[in-house]
């Protein structure tokens, strides 16, 4: 059994990227894994101050919700990030959280596999490319981790539009396969 931490960065209730996160969680649970889904909606995650104190302390000096997420990420075997695509990039909320997960860098983190789930109004194949590249840059700092998979839900905008989208089945299958 693996511990799976799924972070949904959309601030909209019922968002399409969160639907992907829920489908991934369902698949992971069906396979017997422990899956926890955390939404950044309602959370306070401040900007990194680049003080680098976290490298010695192994935690951030800023006291907000990012620290609790960091603790869970440290112990997770699998990390999954779900984000809407804004201007062909991951959401600012997700990028801010990734910056704040800097204390994981010197830590003995458990995760090896990292997944990215994205949704966007546009449906061209290249749409999530910059978000994937941004996450790959973060993963590259963790030598024991790798990008294990991505799922893209294109052609959806309003919350709930993706409820019948084939990417939900793909996310569920990916969750089952971890």
pLDDT score at 124: 95
Render pLDDT for 44-90 as a digit per residue (tens, 0 to 9): 999 999 999 999 998 999 999 999 999 999 999 999 999 999 999 99
Q: Span 88-107, mean pLDDT?
A: 96
Over its C-alpha atoms, the chain yields an Rg (Å, rounded) of: 15
pTM over 0.95: yes
Kindly state the helix (H) or strand (E) to which residue 124 belongs, with its residue range. none
**Furthest CA-CA distance within the chain:** 47
One-letter-per-residue 3-state SS of 95-116: HHHHHHCHHHCCCCCCCCEEEE
Written as six digits, the tokens of 159 are 């919350």
Domain span including residue 107? 3-176
User: Do 10 and 84 contact (CB within 8 A), yes or no?
Assistant: yes
pLDDT score at 106: 93
The count of domains in the chain is: 1
Burial class (CB in 10 A: 0-12, 13-18, 19+), 135: buried
**Cβ count near 4 (within 10 Å):** 26
Query: What CATH code is carried by the domain that includes residue 86?
Result: 3.40.50.360
């Amino acid at each position: 059994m693996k511990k799976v931490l799924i972070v949904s960065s959309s601030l909209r209730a019922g968002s399409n990227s969160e639907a992907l996160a829920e489908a991934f969680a369902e698949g992971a649970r069906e396979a017997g894994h422990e899956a926890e889904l955390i939404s950044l909606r309602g959370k306070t995650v401040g900007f990194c101050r680049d003080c680098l104190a976290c490298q010695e302390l192994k935690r951030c000096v800023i006291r907000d919700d990012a620290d609790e997420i960091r603790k869970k990420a440290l112990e997770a075997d699998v990390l999954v990030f779900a984000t809407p695509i804004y201007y062909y990039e991951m959401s600012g909320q997700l990028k801010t959280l990734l910056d704040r997960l800097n204390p994981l860098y010197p830590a003995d983190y458990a995760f090896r596999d990292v997944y990215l789930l994205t949704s966007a109004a546009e449906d061209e194949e290249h749409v999530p490319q910059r978000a994937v590249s941004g996450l790959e840059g973060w993963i590259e700092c963790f030598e024991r981790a790798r990008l294990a998979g991505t799922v893209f839900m294109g052609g959806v905008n309003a919350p709930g539009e993706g409820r019948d989208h084939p990417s939900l089945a793909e996310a569920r299958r990916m969750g089952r396969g971890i």
